Amino acid sequence: QLELMECGGGSVQAGGSLTLSCLAPGYTSNTYSMAWFRQAPGQEREAVASIWTGGGSTFYHDSMKGRFTISQDKVKKTVYLSINTLKPEDTAMYYCAAQSETYPGTWYDRARYNHWGPGTQVTVSS
């Protein structure tokens, strides 16, 4: 299994920004895509953004467009999620995920990703 580790979370005031990092030391050419999900207490885990590691194409949840940016550094084997103008509703546990097996479904389908990190907490105060 591909080990993933998120870092960069914390407590931030509304209007601030954060950049989360997902370290994937086992990253290979067979890591087809990586993604960020988030889950607030009592809510379902929802897709935030995904990136095709081969070509760099990105996908975003419609409600995340504009304030969220996913990017990658293939040399450092790291995927980032930058969040601008943080809002209290952004408070959640943020998870990094990776796909290393072919999957016919959509980018936001949790079943697409067969590797998951333990998560990093983001708390936005008003």
Angle at the Cα of 122 from the Cα atoms of 56 and 74, rounded to 5 degrees:
25
Taking alpha carbons only, the member of 32, 59, 53 closest to residue 115 is: 32
Give me the pLDDT at residue 30, please. 87
Torsion 65-79-87-116 (CA) sign? positive
Averages of pLDDT over runs of 10 residues in the chain (126 residues) are: 91 97 90 96 96 94 93 95 97 97 95 97 97
Q: Is 120 helix (H, G, I), strand (E, B) or coil?
A: strand
